[in-house]
Chains A and B, each alone.
Chain A
Amino acid sequence: MSARTTRRLLPALLLLVAGMMLGGCASVGVKPWERDILARPGMTPGDDVVMSSLDEHIYFSKEASTGGLGSGGGGCGCN
């Protein structure tokens, strides 16, 4: 399969995988009273918004890839 075909099919594949995962999500997790550990500092993605943002700016400026767990980029003339 060529790279171009892969790119075209990627959104559909991701949707399919996401749907299958969502079905699986219903069977995992915790009860509301079991969230104490999850509530601790450091247990949240992007917990340190300042450091994450400063990092993103550096990598956006120095590399060709952007985005990921946050915005896909834009808003800066540094790249």
Chain B
Amino acid sequence: MGATDRKPGANKAGGLRLALAAACSVLGVAGAPAHATEVSTGALAYVEPGRVKVFELLADGTHEFTNGNLGNFRFVFDALTGASANGAVPSKKAQTFTSPSGGSGYVILPGETPLDMSFKDTRIAGSGGLTLPWGRLTKATFGAYTSFERDYTSLGVNGALSHDLFQRNTTITLRGSHFADSVRPMNGVPDPLTPMVAATPHGGGDDKSFASGGSASKGVTDLGVGLTQVVTRRTLLALNYTGTNVSGYQTDPYKILSVVDATTGAPMPGTATPELDLYEKRPEHRSKHVAAAELIQNLGRDILMLSYRWYDDDWGITSKTTEVSYRLNFQPDRYLQPNLRWYHQSAADFYRRYLVDGQALPDFASADYRLGEMDAVSLGLKYGTKLESGNDLTLRLEYYKQSGDHAPADAIGDLRTMDLFPTVDAWIANVGLTFGKQ
């Protein structure tokens, strides 16, 4: 049992038992786990008023076999519906767009942010893994993952090797994973930086205009190293570094960019559509570096958790994430945990809110606000309690807000009066139930 392993207990009477169990595990004495199987379940409701709604169910289970091996499984189901920004700019006139999901098109009123109202998908994901002791201080983990959406499939494998050092005060983990993802846009893969096709009466765009075929793929490879260190009797520190290489199709086939007049900022007329909108294009290679640190400090009754993450990639995006939470153990089996998270990211090199008529097309361009410079704040409160049955119940409510530059200084003409980065607000509610934990 390493520095990061979960242990049971919460009350004073359990303290001695816990210490003995921990000492026994260090000495290699067989300590019998009280429960061989632990299952955690959770449900999430995510609502952006006027935009996206998501409902997600998750079950995660771990089973300890008599030989000390650990099996793990996870199932996820989520359903998503609502509206998502398509990337086009608002205009003083009504705009018409082709629906990517089978509709005959949709109209956006003057001054409103163009949202694709037909955003809808469901996802089913499953994963399983096995952790095998390799000697007394080393563990090896192997796993596989798969997920299916209407237009997206992912298959992945992962592995990790962890080793305990210095009386198990230090755990080093090396891990790697590879995902092979495939996207099948509903109207085929659009040719990047070409005009959006016209809607047809039978729904969707004119398939003949999608010259690139019906699907595209990418590979995602992660390699990481982690260190978990017991610093004192009350302090634990975790450090992680992950390098990620993504290769293949990373363009969002449903996102577009407006082409606007160089003087007025109004969307240019298209030949097949009322306005000229081009499909976006992103580079096919992305290299990411993530370093993260987490500190857990016991303050007697309560626990303080601090974490910081630094992220950088070769698309030009750098981000910093700081998170703090405080577990207020107001009763032996009950706690309240407020949580605050700050996030800031810089824009991708190829992020452009729009393209200007008459200027040369860039090699890559995307108006997806998620690639723009932004700040995000989330504030949450979690309540946890142990039920009479011995199961753990958690409830959480969280508010999430994203904001960016509403009025860029270089905006053209009419666009100076438009909101070019509307604030996104979201409410998140969770419920979790864990069985078999002691």
Q: Are B23 and A29 in touch, CB under 8 angstroms?
A: no
A54-79 contact mask (Cβ, 8 Å, vs B): 1 or 0: 10011100111111110111111111
In the bound assembly, the distance between CA atoms of A37 and B3 in angstroms comes to 12
B239 interface residue (CB < 8 Å to A) = yes
Tell me which residues across on chain A come within 8 A of B170, comparing CB atoms.
22, 25-26, 29
Q: Is B233 an interface residue (CB 8 A)?
A: yes
Does B365 belong to the interface (CB within 8 Å)?
no
Q: Are B294 and A34 in contact (CB under 8 A)?
A: no
Q: Is the CB of A68 within 8 A of B56?
A: no
Q: Considering the complex, give the chain A residue whose CB is closest to the CB of B25.
A: A32
Question: Total interface residues on A, using CB and 8 Å?
Answer: 56
- In B404-438, the 8 Å CB interface with A consists of 424, 426, 428, 430, 432, 434
Query: Do A66 and B288 touch (CB < 8 A)?
Result: yes
Q: Give the contacts of B304-319 with A (CB-CB under 8 A).
A: 305, 307, 309, 311-315, 317, 319
The answer to whether A42 and B56 have CB atoms under 8 Å apart is: no
Interface footprint category on B: 35 or more
Contact yes or no, A32 B432, CB < 8 A: no
Determine if A74 and B154 form an interchain contact, defined as CB atoms under 8 angstroms apart.
yes
In the complex where A22-B170, A74-B156, A74-B220 touch, is A68 in contact with B343 (Cβ < 8 A)?
no
With A58-B46, A74-B177 as contacts: A45 and B376 at CB distance below 8 Å:
no
Please tell me if the beta carbons of B233 and A79 are within 8 angstroms of each other in the complex.
no
Cross-interface CB contact of A14 among B4, B236, B291, B374, cutoff 8 Å: B291
> Are B58 and A39 interface neighbours, CB within 8 A?
no
The answer on a CB contact under 8 Å between B151 and A57 is no
Q: Are B227 and A22 within 8 A (Cβ)?
A: yes
Instruction: Given A32-B27, A44-B6, A62-B376, answer yes or no on A74-B181 (Cβ-Cβ < 8 Å).
Output: yes
8 Å CB contact of B222 from A7, A21, A72: A72
CB distance from A31 to the nearest CB of B (A): 7
**In the assembled complex, how far is the CB of residue A17 from the closest CB belonging to chain B, in whole angstroms?**
9
Q: B5 within 8 Å of A by Cβ?
A: yes
Q: Which residues of B line the A interface, CB within 8 A?
A: 3-10, 15-16, 18-23, 26-27, 40-42, 44, 46, 56, 58, 60, 74, 76, 78, 80, 121, 123, 125, 145, 147, 149, 151-152, 154, 156, 158, 165-170, 172, 177, 179, 181, 183, 220, 222, 224-234, 236, 238-244, 246, 287-292, 294, 296, 298, 303, 305, 307, 309, 311-315, 317, 319, 321, 327, 329, 335, 343, 345, 348, 370-371, 374, 376, 382, 394, 396, 400, 402, 424, 426, 428, 430, 432, 434
Closest A-B pairs by Cβ, 3 of them: A29-B169, A77-B152, A39-B7
